[in-house]
Amino acid sequence: MIIKNFGKNNMSNINNEPDIIPQNNININQESSQKLNNKTKSIKTPDKEKENENEKEKKPQTISESIIDEDLEYEQIKNSRFKQQRLPAWRPVPTILSIIITFSSFGVAFIVIGLFILIYAKKIKIEEIDYTNCGEIGQNCSISITIKEDIPKPVFVYYQLDGFFQNARRYIKSKQVDQLTGDDPEAHDNCAPAETNEEMGFADTQLSIDKTPLVKSQIAIPCGLFAKTYFNDTFEFFINGNDLTVDETNIAFEKDRKLYDKNPDPKRQWINITNEHFLVWMRPSGLPDPRKLWGKIDKDLNKNDIITIKITNNYDVSYYEGKKKIFLSNTNNFGGKNTFLGICYIVVGGLSLISAIFFLIGYKIQMKKEKEL
């Protein structure tokens, strides 16, 4: 009976009690279900991806995000190989022998170049004529010279004013570009102390290029010290008693010819602004004693040719004790005759060789001391 009752009780307990699942299995199932849900959520269709990208593009970037991006770009640039000087480079370690070789090489090269320039400059032939005391101001005079050496064409004609400084700051500023170009004929802000026709020193009988009398109180066209001191001597050339043609065209810079290509007011102008002699004068010389191009002779000048120059002597240089000269010269690829550049090269080359010799002597002394030790 006891056994039977025990069996019944056990059976009743089994049937009546609910099924019990271990807690570990429940947790595992929950975790796996969550992972599955997350995976399903993370899976996106292509259309949804495009929509999200479009939303990101449409979404404006905040100030903090833009600042962060700029900082990142700056850091990338700052830490680049170029900025940090980590690029491949040749870092020579100078030795006494390498220094001697370098100085010697530069010295020989500079001396060779200097000699070449001097030899090339000697091929340029030049004739100088001083006509300061040719005659009284306002009168015509003539001067003749005999050509000492053959001068091959083209022969350039220059005039030079000794003692004249065209590079003075106040002098250079005393001109009105707007007036010269014709943009504003009344402009005169930079023309002091030569603004009006009276201040320019014109007489009552002075006429404009249109043959109209100039009014003294009116603004001069052109005005300024640059224009006031315009070189107004003229020349006529003869060779062996015959006329010698001098081409006076294309003597100004092409840039100047294009810039000053019109006359702003012919009735008030005292000079033709498009005149190339005027344009040549208005380009300042960087050095004292300005030498300006007058024209070009397209003819060989032979030895013993007699050149006669008829001069209209208008330009007065006595108030600053200057001199007036004419030069006849040909040119080469380096320009006019210039021995200074060749001499400079030779001097620098000589100094380099002397330095190399000093280093060599020091090297020999040092080697001798090391051997004695």
In a domain, 38, yes or no: no
In a domain, 336, yes or no: no
Separation in Å, CA 229 to CA 146, 213, 232, 318:
32, 21, 9, 13
Residues 114 and 136 in one domain: no
Answer yes or no: are the C-beta atoms of 286 and 167 closer than 8 Å.
yes
Q: Which two tokens stand for residue 318?
A: 């006595």
> Which residue stretches of 43-95 are H helix?
46-58, 63-78
Residues 109 and 196 in one domain: no
Report the distance separating Cα 198 and Cα 291, nearest Å: 29
Residues 367 and 226 in one domain: no
Tell me what the mean pLDDT of segment 182-207 comes to.
Answer: 87
Residues 350 and 219 in one domain: no
In a domain, 213, yes or no: yes
Residues 244 and 368 in one domain: no
Strand partners for 336: none
In a domain, 322, yes or no: yes
Backbone angles phi, psi at 195, to 5 degrees: -100, -50
| 53 CB-near residues (< 8 Å, 6+ apart) | none
Residues 212 and 280 in one domain: yes
86 pLDDT more than 50: yes
DSSP 286: S
5-21 confidence digits (pLDDT tens) = 434 344 444 344 444 44
242 class by beta-carbon count within 10 Å (0-12 exposed, 13-18 middle, 19+ buried): exposed
In a domain, 357, yes or no: yes
Domain that residue 112 falls in: 96-118+341-372
Residues 294 and 361 in one domain: no
Residues 130 and 111 in one domain: no
In a domain, 320, yes or no: yes
213-256 confidence digits (pLDDT tens) = 999 899 999 999 999 999 999 999 999 999 999 999 999 999 99
Residues 182 and 289 in one domain: yes
Q: How many domains does the chain divide into? A: 2
In a domain, 68, yes or no: no
Give me Rg for the CA atoms of the chain: 46
Residues 255 and 110 in one domain: no
Residues 359 and 218 in one domain: no
In a domain, 248, yes or no: yes
104 pLDDT more than 70: yes
* Mean pLDDT value across the chain: 82
